[in-house]
Amino acid sequence: MASKSIHLILFLAVSSLLHLIPLPSHCTDPGPLQDFCVADLESPLFINGFPCKNPSHLTSDDFFYDGLKKRGTIFDALNVNLTQVDVYAFPGLNTLGMSMNRVDFLPGGLNPPHNHPRATELSLVVEGKLFVGWVTTDYILYWKVLTAGELFVIPPGLVHFQLNVGEGRALFYASFNSQNPGITIMAEALFDSTPLIPDPVLSKAFHVNDTIIELIKSRVAALYKSSY
Ligand code: GLV
Ligand code: MN
Q: Minimum-distance ligand to the CA of 85?
A: 1
Decide whether any atom of ligand 1 lies within 6 Å of the 103 Cβ.
yes
Q: Which amino acid is at 173?
A: Y
Above 90 in pLDDT, residue 52? yes
Above 50 in pLDDT, residue 203? yes
Instruction: State yes or no: 54 annotated in a binding site.
Output: no
Please tell me the distance from the alpha carbon of residue 119 to that of residue 98, in angstroms, as a whole number: 9
Query: What is the number of domains present in the chain?
Result: 2
Substitution site in 121, 130, 154 for ligand 1 pocket (most atoms within 8 Å of beta carbon): 121
Same-domain check for residues 156 and 199: no
* Average pLDDT rounded to a whole number, residues 17-38: 69
| Atom 1 of ligand 1: nearest residue by CA position | 174
Residue 213 inside a domain? The answer is yes
Pairing of strands 99-105, 151-154: unpaired
Residue 48 inside a domain? The answer is no
Its domain, for residue 177, covers: 72-182
The closest of 88, 81, 37 to 171, measured between CA atoms, is 81
Residue 93 inside a domain? The answer is yes
CATH of the domain at 83: 2.60.120.10
Residue 106 inside a domain? The answer is yes
Residue 61 inside a domain? The answer is no
What value, to the nearest 5°, has the Cα angle with vertex 185 and ends 109 and 140? Answer: 85
Same-domain check for residues 119 and 216: no
For the entire predicted model, the pTM comes to 0.86
Decide whether any atom of ligand 1 lies within 6 Å of the 163 Cβ.
no
Same-domain check for residues 115 and 194: no
Instruction: Tell me, in angstroms, the distance from the centre of ligand 1 to residue 18's CA.
Output: 34
Please tell me the distance from the alpha carbon of residue 58 to that of residue 173, in angstroms, as a whole number: 28
Residue 124 inside a domain? The answer is yes
Instruction: State yes or no: 121 annotated in a binding site.
Output: yes
Instruction: State yes or no: 57 annotated in a binding site.
Output: no
| Atom 5 of ligand 1: nearest residue by CA position | 101
**Contacting residues for 65 by C-beta, under 8 A, at least 6 apart:** 85, 89, 90, 92
Same-domain check for residues 199 and 111: no
Same-domain check for residues 202 and 166: no
Instruction: Tell me, in angstroms, the distance from the centre of ligand 2 to residue 99's CA.
Output: 12
Instruction: Tell me, in angstroms, the distance from the centre of ligand 1 to residue 148's CA.
Output: 16
Same-domain check for residues 119 and 195: no
pLDDT single digits (tens) 69-115: 988 789 999 999 999 999 999 999 999 999 999 999 999 999 999 99
The closest of 105, 68, 62 to 84, measured between CA atoms, is 68
Same-domain check for residues 132 and 214: no
Instruction: Tell me, in angstroms, the distance from the centre of ligand 2 to residue 88's CA.
Output: 17
**Contacting residues for 98 by C-beta, under 8 A, at least 6 apart:** 175, 176, 177, 178, 179
Decide whether any atom of ligand 1 lies within 6 Å of the 111 Cβ.
yes
Burial annotation 103-134 (CB, 10 A radius, 16+ → b, else e): bbbeeebbbbbbbbebbbbebbbebbbbbbbb
pLDDT single digits (tens) 153-170: 999 999 999 999 999 999
